[in-house]
Amino acid sequence: MYISQALKSLHEWWRYLVGILIVLIGVGIFSIPHMIAISIKSFNGEVDMERLAQNDVAYILGLFEPNLNLVFMLLPFLGGLILLFITVKFIHKQSIISLTTSRKSIDWSRIWFSFFLWGIVSSIMIGLGYLIEPENFEINFKLVPFLILVVIAILLIPIQTSFEEYLFRGYLMQGIGVITKYRWIPLLITSLVFGLMHISNPEVDKLGPVVMIYYIGTGLFLGVMTLMDEGMELALGFHAANNLFTALLVTADWTAFQTHSVLKDLSDPQNAGLTDIIIPVFVIFPILLYVFSKKYNWTSWRDRLIGSVSA
């Protein structure tokens, strides 16, 4: 069983507390280049200090050229992932494989299946949106900036999404599970914290608190997928595809990822916001779970989602 993998390693509660602090240090260290760049702009008088002091996320995200800004955004996740892996190895004496899956080795076919399934579905949805309401989009494609974006996105976005998955569906899911001895507790806690982690995103300011349904619902979807499949592979593939294809295909002035994508969304998000929240969480995600359950023969839903944790 996936959560039980942590029982084979050092799993005292204080180790997870120390581990989280170490991970935060890694995130902080790799945030320094962004802070230095902002300081240089401030010294040159190119920054609105009032908006900076207010921690205006949308303003901060627009301070730099989009590709450079994307690098600054994603670097802290690299620091977090490196320090998380070091923590698992030296603080918990646990292998990365057992953090990832209950299988003897990481099943890359699962990662790629989930990646391409959601990549194709999300691309079709974006394409249909453009065909149905072309007035809500403008062509944003510029060859050289886009090619640079492709390289940055392929190199760094999977690191960003892997960090979030290894932290929430891996480290915290296993840690809270072996401490509380129940599966439903880490499922709910990690989903809630994953959602709240996005509370400073520009989308929340634009759409309002209702968008948290999407973030928390996505966390719940990824958590259910991980527990039912007894490993993180499907969640790793889905999350990477979700962020990568979005960054490459569509951007907007009010989103966290402001990129040199193919399309730019010009619509007022408040007009369709509720639909964009409800349909994925309550329609598309359940359909995907059904597809995965049939392909990988998931059984014992009750025990895997709310059962107890044992060696």
Q: How far is CA 138 from the centre of its chain?
A: 27
Predicted confidence at residue 184, as pLDDT, reads 97
pLDDT of residue 272: 59
What does the block give as tokens for 64?
């730099």
pLDDT of residue 134: 94
CA–chain centroid gap for 244, Å, is 10
> Which residues in 210-232 are b (16+ Cβ under 10 Å) and which e?
ebbbbbbbbbbbbbbbbbbbbbb
Q: Give the whole-angstrom CA distance, residue 105 versus residue 192.
A: 29
Residue % of the chain over a pLDDT of 70: 98
Provide CB contacts within 8 A for 13, sequence distance 6+.
175, 179
To which H or E segment does residue 138 belong?
strand 137-139
Do 236 and 162 contact (CB within 8 A), yes or no? yes
3-state secondary structure of 30: coil
Q: Which residues contact 205 (CB under 8 A, 6 or more apart)?
A: 57, 58, 254
Q: What is the mean pLDDT of each run of 10 residues along the chain (311 residues)?
A: 95 97 98 94 85 76 90 97 98 98 97 98 94 94 97 98 98 97 97 92 82 94 98 98 97 87 87 76 96 97 93 72
Please give the pLDDT value at position 139: 95
Give me the pLDDT at residue 235, please.
98
Give the pLDDT of residue 57: 73
**CA angle, 81 then 218 then 23, to 5°:** 20
Q: Report the pLDDT value the prediction gives residue 273, as an integer from 0 to 100.
A: 63
In the chain, the amino acid numbered 194 is F
Place of tokens 């349909």: 279
Domain extent listing, the chain? 3-306
pLDDT recorded at residue 271: 65
Tokens (6 digits) for 94: 């646990």
Specify the pLDDT at position 207.
80
